[in-house]
């Protein structure tokens, strides 16, 4: 088979570019500890507010016996509930999020928190916040006309007794 010299050159260029991009992605995934959420747990989104883990009284920030923190949240058009989260700094945090309606995203810039919130599944992400301050929390999957307004914030406070 005859391959034109110019064609060959561009084949090599595209292969090098592909390798470079995979390299950059791999490097940042490892360096910033980014990995796809691997939790697969199903839930009945129609009955979120009626029974089980995601009823209103059970939402929010809870300190576990081992000192870590668990945050339970519902994403629904167009907001995250509860709307304001206060989380201690320097503490392992586990987010558990469920959608009450359609596909949403959960993204906190400058952290490893980024996941889809798929109706029928519980999204789980682990992190910790090294510094005191405020972080925006936003939906990054188009979920309808109010998508642009679907955001709230996380306030990181001083660790108790720290």
| Binding interface with ligand CUA (CB under 6 A) | 104, 139, 141-143, 147, 150
Q: Is 101 left (phi over 0), alpha (psi -120 to 50) or beta?
A: alpha
Q: Which of residues 69 and 76 has its CB atom nearest to ligand CUA in the complex?
A: 76
Nearest approach in angstroms of CB 84 to ligand CUA is 17
Strands lying side by side in the sheet with 114-117: 84-88, 151-157, 133-138, 104-107, 114-117
Nearest approach in angstroms of CB 140 to ligand CUA is 7
Q: Is 88 exposed, middle or buried (0-12, 13-18, 19+ CB in 10 A)?
A: buried
Q: Which of residues 60 and 79 has its CB atom nearest to ligand CUA in the complex?
A: 79
Q: Which of residues 68 and 140 has its CB atom nearest to ligand CUA in the complex?
A: 140
Nearest approach in angstroms of CB 67 to ligand CUA is 32
Nearest approach in angstroms of CB 154 to ligand CUA is 16
What token pair was written down for 25?
A: 């992605």
Q: Which of residues 69 and 138 has its CB atom nearest to ligand CUA in the complex?
A: 138
- What's the rounded Cα separation, in Å, for the pair 21 and 28? 11
């Amino acid at each position: 088979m005859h391959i034109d010299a110019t064609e060959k050159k561009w084949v090599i260029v595209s292969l090098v570019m592909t390798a470079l991009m995979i390299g950059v992605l791999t490097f940042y995934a490892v360096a910033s500890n980014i990995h796809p959420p691997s939790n697969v747990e199903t839930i009945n989104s129609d009955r979120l507010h009626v029974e089980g883990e995601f009823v209103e009284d059970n939402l929010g920030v809870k300190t576990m016996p081992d000192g870590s923190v668990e945050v339970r949240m519902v994403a629904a058009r167009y907001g995250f509930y509860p709307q304001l989260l206060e989380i201690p700094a320097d503490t392992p945090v586990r987010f558990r999020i469920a959608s009450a309606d359609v596909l949403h995203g959960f993204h906190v810039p400058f952290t490893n928190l980024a996941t889809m919130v798929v109706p029928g599944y519980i999204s789980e992400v682990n992190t910790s916040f090294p510094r005191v301050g405020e972080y925006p929390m936003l939906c990054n999957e188009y979920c309808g006309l109010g998508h642009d307004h679907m955001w709230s914030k996380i306030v990181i406070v001083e660790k108790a007794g720290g």
